Structure 1
Amino acid sequence: MDILKFIQEIKKHLKLSFDEVDGWFGKDRKTLDYQPSNGGWTVRQILEHIYLTNFYLLILIEKGSKKTLRNSGGPDLDVEIRDYVFDREKFEEIGKYGAFEWIRPGHMEPKGAMELHEIRSLISIQHQQCLIYLERMKNGEGLLCKTTMTVNGLGKINVYEYIYFLSLHTKRHLTQMKNNESERIRTAGFDI
């Protein structure tokens, strides 16, 4: 796989995901606070969860990027770039809402303690952080460090794949927010 094309693909996916998330902050209060009939999270809670998950994923991404940059250069990078194959099929499930069962850690559960404007600002900063990491590892260095990802049995994934995972996780919850909004509109009739 052409690693430079993969990095560009990740950047594009991040932009689309984060731009769409940003649009949800402008929704009306009824949409943001609608409790779906399945007892799931409100849009407001989902936005907080996206921020929290990104926060913890970015800790791992930062550690991995530092490690890769310390270890970059030399023949190992050339070999990794030459031999790298991205298993797209394995990752695509992450972006599909309801595709698999996974119990998230408690520290990623929304607590309702943050204001929407604060969450919005922090998510925007997280998007920029992802782009900075990709720029720092623009020559394939992100392949040099792998960390275990337990979600859906992904196993050892590299730093680029962690960033892609973060974007796919966001996409997953975009579907959940759309489902909430659709249900609210259906149950409210035209009282939107």
Structure 2
Amino acid sequence: MAEVRVCLTDTFAALDAWFDQPADLRRYRPAAGGWTADEILEHVGLTNHFLLILVDKATRKALLNAQTQDLAAALAAYEFQTGKLADIGRHKSFAWIRPEHMEPTGTRPLAEVRAQLQQQLAHCRQTLAAMPNGEGALYRTTMSVNGLGKIDVYEYLYFLAQHGQRHLTQLSRNAAEFAHNPA
């Protein structure tokens, strides 16, 4: 849980720093196409929104399971699947066609996107706080991205942070290209 919390905090802090970058950098579109920094940030917020719906459902079920399952036994056999989730944090490490509802429109005000990401970090922290004893390990649900299969609530939160990391790499690439081609 501590590793997930740190990863979430670091990822969201790095994303938040992008809102303070110059507007011309944030609006720069890579020469080969792709998203601007503003669009990437909007996409992360959209994706988090839908992931957190799944996290909330899984959290409720995990907490219910904690009333009837042996938490100590589950934790004794618990293995966090860090390696399985590592590819999520690497930009272009696998092919994935995102659902249309996770595509940025470029029309949301930047302040709204920033506030959404800040609220999402708070939401993630509240989720972790609601399961302080490891209850999140008691419910697993299928994640189709990159064939991950069944992951638990903590792994879903880590997935969310890794998705942000994936796009931080994309943001860094945009910045590097912009530095060489400021248009």
TM range (shorter): over 0.9
Distance in structure 2 (CA, Å) of the matches to 1:134 and 1:53: 19
2:64: which partner in 1? 70
CA deviation vs aligned residue, 1:41-97 (integer Å, no higher than 9, x gap) = 000000000000000000000011111112214553222111011222111111011
Task: Select the residue among 172, 179, 182 that pairs with 2:176.
Answer: 182
Q: Name 2:143's counterpart in structure 1.
A: 149
Gaps of 5+ in 1: 1-6
Q: After alignment, is 82-91 or 159-168 more displaced?
A: 82-91
Please, which runs of 5 or more residues in structure 2 have no aligned partner?
Answer: none
Mapped to 1, the partners of 2:147 and 2:65 lie a distance apart of 27
Determine if the alignment matches structure 1 residue 91 to structure 2 residue 85.
yes
Q: Look up the match of 1:28.
A: 22
Match of 1:105 among 99, 107, 116: 99
**Of 127, 138, 145, the match for 2:132:** 138
Check if 1:61 corresponds to 2:90.
Answer: no
SS where residue 25 of structure 1 aligns?
helix
Deviations 1:72-128 (A, max 9, x none): 145532221110112221111110111111111110000122100000001000000
Provide the TM-score with structure 1 as the length reference: 0.92
Deviates further, 97-106 or 66-75? 66-75
Tell me, yes or no, if structure 1 residue 171 matches structure 2 residue 165: yes
Report the RMSD for the aligned CA atoms in angstroms: 1.1
Name the residue aligned to 1:13: 7
SS at match of 2:54: helix
Deviates most, 32-41 or 73-82: 73-82
Q: Residue deviations 1:13-39, cap 9 Å, x none?
A: 111100000000011111111010121
Q: Write the distance in 2 (CA, Å) between the matches of 1:27 and 1:39.
A: 20
Give the secondary structure class of the aligned counterpart of 2:97.
coil
Mapped to 1, the partners of 2:66 and 2:88 lie a distance apart of 29
State whether residues 47 and 102 of structure 2, in contact with CA within 8 Å, keep that contact through their aligned partners in structure 1: yes
Identical-residue share of aligned pairs (%): 44
| TM norm structure 2 | 0.97
